Amino acid sequence: MNKQIRITFLSALLFTFILISILIAEPVFAWHFNGHFWIIAPVNLYFLVEPNVSTESWCGWYNAQLVWNDAPDSPTEFIYTEDDSIDVITCEYANNPLTWSGYSWFNPDSGYISKAGAWINEYFTDAYSYYKRVSTAAHEFGHVIGLAHNSGAYLMEHYDSIRYDDNGIYSPTPTDIDEVNALY
């Protein structure tokens, strides 16, 4: 085989390898957004905790905003209010034997949102420790500002047990904050 054919053969092999890699590779680095976002950065987001939530849930919500506001480089500014004429986030409770511990909703249902809400399901969370409850509530605040689930040692990890028990996470990690800063 002469030199030119060998070079052509090796080039073709390399080309094939690159092409197959491109075709089968899945994107590894991708932001995790849920399709909802506030028209400006998530600042001055007044949140109201419904008075009928349990004391434990109240502590969850209140401390969840603190961990978001205190996280380094976080653009968020959640503000606690008891005035239901100015709140844009309503924090409520559910207590039913369904299988989620937290739930978030948005209005309107897509695009820029002007109002959002979140529940924590006291059916499960009443048995949680204080920090685990903060972890659940802070996770819901993450959804409320536009983040989707992420897998691993992040605040946006799906499961409370993996997020808090396995990894001890109850406040936004630098990755969660990077995601918020990428969105706004």
Partner 1 sequence: MKVSSLILTIPILLVLSITSTACAQTNPKLVNSGKGDVSWAKGWTNLSDLVTDSPLIVIGEIVKVKETIQQNERLYFTKFFFRVDTVLKGQAANQIVIYQTGTPDKPETGIMDDPLFKIGDKYLLFLESNEPDTYCYYGPECRYLIATDKVYSINHVLDNTQYIAPRTLDYNGFSLAMFNANVKEILNSVRFYSSTNVTRLLRGEAEKASFVLATNYSVEGKVLFNINRVDSKNGYLMPVTDGMTLNIVPNELYVHPNNDYHLILEIQTDEQNIVSGEYLINVNYNIGGTITGSHQIKVIIDTLKLSDIKMRP
Footprint of partner 1 on this chain (CB under 8 A)?
Answer: 4-5, 8-9, 12-13, 15-16, 19-20, 23, 34, 36, 55, 58-59, 62-63, 66, 92, 94, 96-106, 109-110, 117, 119, 121, 124, 127, 129-132, 134, 136, 139-140, 143, 148-149, 151, 158-162, 164-166, 168
The residue assigned the tokens 């600042």 is 43
Which candidate, 57, 55, 151, 47, places its Cα nearest to that of 102? 57
Cα(148)–Cα(30) distance, integer angstroms:
11
Phi first, then psi: what are they for 95, rounded to 5°? Answer: -145, 85
Residue 17 CB, shortest distance to partner 1, in Å, is 9
Residue 127 CB, shortest distance to partner 1, in Å, is 8
Residue 73 CB, shortest distance to partner 1, in Å, is 21
Please say which residue, 168 or 174, places its beta carbon nearer to partner 1: 168
Please say which residue, 76 or 122, places its beta carbon nearer to partner 1: 122
Please say which residue, 20 or 43, places its beta carbon nearer to partner 1: 20
Complete DSSP assignment for 109-152? SSEEESEEEEEEEHHHHTTS-HHHHHHHHHHHHHHHTTB--B-S
Beta carbons of 74 and 177 less than 8 angstroms apart: yes
User: What's the token pair of residue 126?
Assistant: 């009443």
Please say which residue, 41 or 94, places its beta carbon nearer to partner 1: 94
Please say which residue, 107 or 181, places its beta carbon nearer to partner 1: 107
Residue 46 CB, shortest distance to partner 1, in Å, is 18
Residue 179 CB, shortest distance to partner 1, in Å, is 14
Which candidate, 49, 47, 42, 43, places its Cα nearest to that of 88? 47
